[in-house]
Amino acid sequence: MINSIKKGKRVEREVAKILSRLTNCTFERVPMSGGFATSRNTKSCVFNGDLFCEEEPYKESLVVEVKATKEKILISDILNEKSTLNKWIAQSKRECGTADWLLIFKMNGKKTIFLCTYHVLLKYKKIFENSKPTQCSDYWIGELK
């Protein structure tokens, strides 16, 4: 059995590499994976979420939350307020403050999926240019390639 903390860190590193490749900017894991901002009581969104980038246009404007799960996540879960997916969306919104948020998740042995608002899809086009996002309720979802 894989340690869930190790699995989460591994998926965060994988996603950081994908985002770095897609944007030609360096994305890195937040020290203590998001707990850094809470422990320092900082108002800056740079260290909120799980990944950060110190380059424009991502610096202090995009909070990336990464989830690794063995649970099966369905698009229809968006319609269920009590679903794990909606809990992750709520966490992403809460942690981003006034910045934009991007939720990325990976189910065991499956593709890496993103979920975001249309505003994020347009503003950070480089991240999504290899994807074919689909609208689902108020959000856009697709495979992060």
CATH code for the domain of 11: 3.40.1350
Neighbours of 19 (CB within 10 A): 26
| Number of domains within the chain | 1
pTM as predicted: 0.88
Nearest partner of 102 among 40, 58, 72, judged by Cα: 58
**pLDDT of 34:** 47
pLDDT-based confidence at 40, cuts 50/70/90?
very low
**Residue range of the domain that includes 114:** 4-143
Segment 78-112, tens digit of pLDDT? 889 999 999 999 999 998 989 999 999 999 989 99
